[in-house]
Structure 1
Amino acid sequence: MRYLTKWLILLLPAFSVAQTPLQLEAVYEKAREHYPLLQQKKLVQQTAALSIENLTKGMLPQISINGQASYQSEVTAIAISFPGVTINPLSKDQYRLTADISQLIYDGGLNKQQQALQELNAGIEDQKLEVELYKLRERITQVFLGILYIDAQLKQADLLAADIETGMRKVEAQIANGTAFKSGYNALKAERLKTGQRIIELKATRRGLLSVLGLFIQETLADDQVLLQPVLTTLSDTSITRPEITLFQQQQKLIKGQSALIDIRNKPRASAFLQAGYGRPGLNMLKNSFEPFGIGGIRFSWSLGGWYTASKEKKLAGIQQQTVQLQQETFLLQTRTQVTQQEAEISKLKELIASDDEIIALRVSVKQAAAAQLENGVITASDYLREVNAEDQARQQLNTHKIQLIQAQANLRLIAGHS
């Protein structure tokens, strides 16, 4: 029992470090979580919240404290004398300390519209980041499928090596029986070594691509990390739902909001005010002493200068809207063109794969016949090797077409925005 426990302890680390197969969608999510631009989205949200909060405080009462001390060369005096009445002249040095409170009553909706524009601006900046994050999917897809393609090539290289080794054993037996030459065996051995070199190159390339994928998801991936081949069905709906469309729509909303702001800026404004103060003289200019005083009321203002440029500003906003609309239409046209090209590519690759299967079936039968002929001494090792390489090329072509099909299907989803 003690030895069993010891063996279990030794085996536990092996189970704990077992690699979980990676799926393409999972890589998308992990890469998004660790991509620096995602942190920038939080900064955009914080900036917008602070700006809107500041605008909101603009509706609070505005308080100011003012003080003044002055000396005048001359003051108002009453030159008429009244019997029994003495009017003291005002002092030439005068003092005033006031507290002013102003409360906006009506601004034509200016503050509310400015808050709305701030939110729209933040939404546009956020959507721009979404566009950049979406582009990340394309780069990840290329790396991910590149690794899958190498995996297929490695499997095929192993099959090729097995076929060559089969031929080597047959030729080795013939040499022992004196029915074959050593040169044939050497030719097969050289090809086996060449296949080994190809496997070394493929594994090195795979390690490099795994390192790139690991950087995207902030993980160290082992050399034997397994990647699951994505299963992508044909899209029944290829309508364009890319994040760029949302960006164009938000830009249109912002321009409309800016156009509305032109009229709002030219509306009248009203505010209530209260002034409390202490000074000499007070509101009674004939009383030459320090007195408290207060004034309250309503202020009304209406600046008409903005009407001179309002029509031109609206025309500029209209031009901006047309520009964004044309940009959206151009993007949609280019995207639909790419969708059509990918659909044609998918159709072509499916036909090629069907043809590849037939070619491989024929090549396998030819190789098997060649193996039997080699064993009977009918053909040479070079003839056998030629048929083995022909089958290998056919299988490589099939692997290439399969990965290209997955790539085309993934590209179609990415282009249309359905990934």
Structure 2
Amino acid sequence: MNIRTIILLMLIPVGLSAQQTITLEECWSNARKQMPVLQNMQAFNQLDSLEQLILKTNYLPSLNASAQATWQSDVTSVEISMPGFSIDEPSKDQYKATLEINQLIWDGGRTKALREMHGAETALSKAETAEGFFPIKQRVASLYFALMLSQNQMDLTRELITTLAKKLNEIDAAVDQGVVREAGKYVLQAEKLQAEQSLSGQVYRAQGVAKMLHVLTQLNINYKDSLQEPEPQIPETVNRHQLTVFELQQEATTQAKEVLQKNRMPVVNAFAQAGYGKPGLNMLKTGADSWLLAGAGVSWNIFDWNKTKRQKQQLTVQKQMIDHKREQFLQQVNTEKQQYLSEIDQYRKALVKDAKIIALREKITNDYSSQLKQGTVTSSAFIEELFKEQSAKITREIHTIKMNQSQIALQILLEK
């Protein structure tokens, strides 16, 4: 590297940065990372793991300790008088301490059903959270295309300013030669200033859109950055997270029914108890004593006054409501789909006519440009035709971007 190159590099401002290319997929990806609610996905997994561990403890033995001291006004006594034989009256103050172990032997599948139900509820929460990204995705796409449209409008305005500046140079010679009146030059200068003023407003609007896009994506986006035109990948069928939500809601109600059914099953458990107290198991022994006790038990709520039956009926109604919501959702999606397809077809046909209109407008403008040099038309007439050409080009850019935007909107509507 020679000394001249080094000096030139040193003269480049430090804050000057090259333009970068931004894609819509990149914006979506970063917006997803920045969405606070989506950061709960890991938390859902942690909560589910903890709940599964909690439910597993139902299968583990429980150890309970208790102590009790009482005084009572009367005790059981044997009022039989027998020569040479007596039974001491129990003490009115009594105490005991026990240590008891309980072990579940069989709960009719209740714990297993609870674990499956909680797993379904966790999956449902995750699907609902994922669907929450849908409006953010739409908003990011809207801002992306708004910035793209602003950039195209600024490019066309700069092109107009360049054309007017070129015409001013040409008309100067014509004014000096007396072919064109000096007032025609003032018309071009005024229109050039107005175009420059319009460009300033467009720049401020583009900067505002870029800042809003930065807030959602946290990407360092400049309004001058190159935006890559998205290539739509439109699914053939509806594949939204919302459909998964409906499926998991149905599964959750099914699991809830299963839990209700298991709650009606008998529960079998074994227990063992060790204790020390006064009196012990032998009520006729007045002193303190220790004891051991072991056994098994069964509990079964045989009749619940049709409570479980009615709860199952409630869940059946809920499943029907979920089906209706799913049908309503699909109907709405299909309605919006037809709207986007109609818009795409409309813009596609409009672009064909735009190309023909622009070709004709360019011919007209070129003809008026030649006549302006010769002084056969006024500057105002030339400006009018030049603006018509620019308006046609702006319309074409709007139709191009709007068609692409409708295609992407259709993609967002159908995909996950």
TM-score (norm 1): 0.93
In 2, Cα distance between equivalents of 1:230 and 1:74: 91
| 3-state SS, counterpart of residue 395 of structure 1 | helix
DSSP-derived class of the 2:99 partner: strand
Residues of 2 paired with 1:157 and 1:395: CA distance?
Answer: 11
Query: What corresponds to 2:256 in structure 1?
Result: 258
* Equivalent position amino acid for 2:329 in 1: F
3-state DSSP class of the match of 2:306? helix
Fraction of identical pairs, as percent: 27
Aligned partner of 2:121 in structure 1 is 121
Aligned residue-pair number: 416
Answer whether contact 1:96 1:279 (CA < 8 A) is retained: yes
Please tell me whether residue 405 in structure 1 is matched to residue 406 in structure 2.
no
Range that drifts further, 38-47 or 68-77 = 38-47
The match for 1:321 among 296, 319, 336 is 319
Q: How far did residue 79 of structure 1 move?
A: 2.9
Aligned to 2:69: 69
Is residue 303 of structure 1 aligned with residue 294 of structure 2? no
User: Which runs of structure 2 are paired with 1:1-400 in the superposition (5 Å)?
Assistant: 3=3, 7=7, 10=10, 17-232=17-232, 235=234, 237-306=235-304, 308-400=306-398
Deviations 1:306-338 (A, max 9, x none): 352222222111110000000000100110111
* CA spacing shift, 1:115–1:12, aligned 2, 3 Å: farther
Q: Give the whole-Å Cα distance in 1 for the aligned partners of 2:3 and 2:171.
A: 49
CA contact (8 A) 1:97 1:279 kept: yes
Amino acid corresponding to residue 351 of structure 2 in structure 1 = I
CA deviation digits over 1:235-270, x for unaligned, max 9? 4x4310111111111111111111222211111111
Q: Specify whether residues 359 and 398 from structure 1 end up closer, same or farther in structure 2 by C-alpha distance, changes over 3 A only.
A: same
User: TM-score under structure 2 normalisation?
Assistant: 0.94
What is the identity, as a one-letter code, of the residue corresponding to 2:158?
D
Task: Kindly provide the CA deviation profile for residues 6-65 of structure 1, in whole angstroms up to 9, marking residues without a partner as x.
Answer: 549738996995343111001100111111112233333333333332222232211111
Alignment partner of 2:80: what SS? coil
Asked if the contact 2:271–2:294 (Cα under 8 Å) also holds between the matched residues in 1, the reply is yes
Contact preservation (8 Å) 2:94, 2:279: yes
Residues 119 and 152 of structure 1: CA distance in aligned 2, closer, same or farther (over 3 Å): same
Identify if the C-alpha distance between structure 1 residues 57 and 17 changes in structure 2 by more than 3 Å, giving closer, same or farther. farther
Aligned residue for 2:285, secondary structure, equals coil
- Alignment partners' CA distance in 1, 2:13 and 2:280: 89
Query: Is the CA contact 2:232–2:411 (under 8 Å) kept in the aligned structure 1?
Result: no
Checking the alignment, whether the CA contact within 8 Å between 1:276 and 1:295 is kept in structure 2 is: yes
Aligned equivalents of 1:271, 1:9: Cα separation in 2: 84
Alpha-carbon separation, structure 1, partners of 2:10 and 2:305: 84
Give yes or no for contact 1:366–1:387 (8 Å, CA) kept in 2. yes
Check whether the contact 1:266–1:307 (CA below 8 A) recurs between aligned residues.
no
SS in 2 for 1:343: helix
**Secondary structure at the residue paired with 1:146?**
helix
Does structure 2 conserve the Cα–Cα contact (< 8 Å) formed by 1:349 and 1:401? yes
Q: Which amino acid aligns with 2:373?
A: E
CA drift at 1:81: 4.5
Q: Which deviates more, 372-381 or 214-223?
A: 214-223
Q: Residues 32 and 133 of structure 2 are in contact (CA less than 8 Å); yes or no, is this contact kept in structure 1?
A: yes
Mapped pair 1:417 → 2:400 = no
SS in 2 for 1:221: coil
Q: Give the 3 Å change call, closer, same or farther, for CA 278–13 of structure 1 in structure 2.
A: farther
Give the aligned residue type for 1:348: Q
C-alpha change, 1:344 and 1:2, in structure 2 (3 Å) is closer
Would you say the 8 A contact 2:151–2:224 is kept in 1?
no
Q: What is the distance in 2 between the residues matched to 1:292 and 1:210?
A: 81
Asked if 2 retains the 8 angstrom alpha-carbon contact of 1:280 and 1:290, the reply is yes
Q: 1:4 to 1:165 in 2, by over 3 A?
A: closer
In the alignment, the residues of structure 2 paired with residue 13 and residue 153 of structure 1 have an alpha-carbon distance, to the nearest angstrom, of 28
CA distance in 2, matches of 1:12, 1:383: 44
C-alpha contact 1:167 1:384 (8 A) present in aligned 2: no
Q: Which runs of 5+ in 2 are unaligned?
A: none
User: Which sits farther off after the overlay, 82-91 or 312-321?
Assistant: 82-91
1:72-116 Cα shifts (integer Å, max 9, x gaps): 222222333555444332222111100111111111111121122
3-state SS of the aligned residue for 1:284? coil
The AA in structure 1 aligned to 2:304 is G
SS at match of 2:226: coil
For structure 1, the residue ranges without an aligned partner over 5 or more in a row are none
Aligned residues of 2:272 and 2:295 also touching (Cα < 8 A)? yes
Check whether the contact 2:27–2:219 (CA below 8 A) recurs between aligned residues: no
1:184-203 superposed Cα distances (whole Å, 9 cap, x missing partner): 11111111111111111111
